[in-house]
A and B are shown apart, each in its own frame.
Chain A
């Protein structure tokens, strides 16, 4: 039972992070290398809010404020990124990739200057464990599972049931066709980057209490997220959900049964295999 809960927990970690990246990649076809740093900034914003507000309003409330502020700050960063990088460099995906890579270093350095290079820890807003069938799940992990589920469901409803969501899907499917239908693709791109970046911020707020936060935490998370969205199907949000589950189960089982040292190797090998036999990913459609 513990292994099942661990699978669920790890899947939610992967999903939480990959969701925003998959959305941005799927709609805009750009690689935002600074997505990991948006995640990191979400964690630091939450750290700051918890450290300053918790004595007055309590840990859970301070964390909630932190998560909201984190989403707002990273959403704003997404908007700035769109205006400052994506629009001027439209149709130059390599230049956008390099620019976001540069931005990731800039953001890392800023955070190092403000908070220092030594890792920090966010006090868990919820303590204690939930017992299920003799196994345990820490309350702070339940929080991440809830956050990942809420983000996925919310995103699904937004994309499938709202007018802006329909526009986003239209642009993702066929940008030129959407433009001909009168959809303002620039606005859609801006909105997508704000939502995707905001999700990264919420993810940083959720993951912060159960992982060490450091200025460099974005890199490893981004690497795993790339593998997930490539295996799931580039640009396919639901493929990312499925791939997160696949890697959540696989990585948990490998750690459990003595293969922990081969996790990175296995993930990379699976990605290479999928790229070679089905370049569009397991759940992606041929372009």
Chain B
């Protein structure tokens, strides 16, 4: 082969490589979560959930769009300093303007979502969360890709009241911060349809700093004699201490929250004592094997990689949220924020990879029909400290039946932005 032929062959080969690289266009996904500090115990498992979701595709050559082209997924993390709205915006600027991400997974915390709505929309970066939190018709690139927070609080408490008519008194224990206030409003909204037979006996928000003295926090709650306590705002370890304090005071009722780290709880209280009394519902709990083989496999990957002690239900919540984005990418002609958004909203429902057919939740809450109501598995603890599915709530059906009662309560709690 003479020199000229070699140059031509090398040039053709190089062009081929370039074309291959183009077909393998990488999808950049940003995860904006606390990576250090106290809140990292939430942010790190969430980040890992997204990373494992991406690794599953990357190991098989990438995720295919509607044209059949496969794309590798690159996940980049950004710290938001414990869900602080200002830091959320700073992280978004870096992700969008410097790193050119196509999609971002962020918190549902309303203040944080509101802070980034404009920059995400202006740059057509599809920004999702494990819930809704804040959505607005002006910002179509903000979506809630699973039922998640804070809606799940409403559906959890209503499910318990619906299926357990002996519950007459409910205590709501929430922290005095943005997502604690959202949880308080959603818990109250979930109780409202049953207001004739159910009384809210405690709903004082607490200062997160006061959780160092769990007995002091638990004493007035116990004194209000609830049949059901629903909480939001404790860290996993604090949840265990709270249950321990309530049990020591003699409480015999039920507990509900978005999730419980039962390993920490059962270090303090025998699992048999709590069997059938501790309920959770967030999005999906991958540690429960029967709901979905795919999330069960994800759970095994997580535990294999990080260890059982590092497991948090939040990992599966983030994983599930990304599967809605995945459904959009697979229906879109190109993996851009704009194309994926359009693909997701072509019909009133989404064939969600984990939950099946799921309805967009309507515009009554936020003035934007951007919240996907995925069916919600409610879990209850068993006598070994594990969880089993108590029921799968058809949240779209519940919402259609009860939204007239729930909406005014949510509006009073500052959670309705449809007319703003």
Contact = CB atoms under 8 A, between A and B. Distances in A.
B36 interface: yes
Contact of A13 (B212, B220, B241): B212
B268 interface: yes
Interface in B210-242: 210, 212-217, 219-220, 235-238, 240-241
Nearest to A212: B237
Interface in B317-367: none
Contacts of A13: 212-213
Q: Is the interface of B mostly helix, strand, loop or mixed?
A: helix
Nearest to B174: A261
Given A121-B237, A141-B215, A256-B219, A116 B210 contact: no
How many chain A residues sit at the interface, stated as a range, is 35 or more
B87 interface: no
Interface string B171-184: 00000100000000
A116 B250 CA distance: 34
Interface in A202-236: 210-214, 216, 219-221, 223-224
Interface in B266-314: 267-268, 309-310, 312
Interface stretch (A2-10, A94-102, A150-158, A188-196): A2-10
A129 B205 CA distance: 27
A119 B204 CA distance: 26
A210 B215 CA distance: 10
B237 A263 contact: no
B356 to A, nearest CB: 32
A85 interface: no
Contact of A123 (B37, B40, B267): B267
A258 interface: yes
Nearest to A119: B237
A216 B38 contact: yes
B217 A255 contact: yes
B248 interface: yes
Contact of B213 (A3, A129, A255): A255
Nearest to A115: B309
A252 B209 contact: no
Nearest to A118: B41
B248 A129 contact: yes
A263 B312 contact: no
B206 interface: yes
Contact of A214 (B38, B249, B250): B38
Given A118-B44, A118-B312, A260-B217, A255 B210 contact: yes
A140 to B, nearest CB: 9
Contacts of A121: 237, 240, 264, 267-268
Contacts, number: 117
Contact of A10 (B204, B213, B241, B250): B213
B209 A119 contact: no
B216 A261 contact: no
Interface string A247-287: 00001100111101111110000000000000000000000
A261 B238 contact: no
How many chain B residues sit at the interface, stated as a range, is 35 or more
Contacts of A159: none
Interface in B240-272: 240-241, 244-245, 248-250, 264, 267-268
A2 B217 CA distance: 12
B312 A10 contact: no
A119 B215 contact: no
Nearest to A6: B216
A116 to B, nearest CB: 6
B264 to A, nearest CB: 5
B151 interface: no
B45 interface: yes
Contact of B215 (A116, A138, A220, A224): A138
A257 B268 CA distance: 28
Given A260-B204, A262-B207, A264-B207, A118 B215 contact: no
A12 to B, nearest CB: 10
A136 interface: yes
Nearest to B238: A212
A136 B218 CA distance: 12
A118 B45 contact: yes
A273 to B, nearest CB: 19
A255 B216 CA distance: 7
A124 interface: yes
Nearest to B45: A118
Interface of B: 36-38, 40-41, 44-45, 176, 204-207, 209-210, 212-217, 219-220, 235-238, 240-241, 244-245, 248-250, 264, 267-268, 309-310, 312
Given A123-B268, A255-B220, A260-B176, 18 more contacts: A6-B215, A9-B213, A9-B215, A10-B216, A117-B44, A118-B40, A118-B44, A118-B45, A129-B248, A211-B214, A212-B235, A216-B37, A252-B213, A252-B216, A255-B216, A255-B219, A262-B207, A265-B207
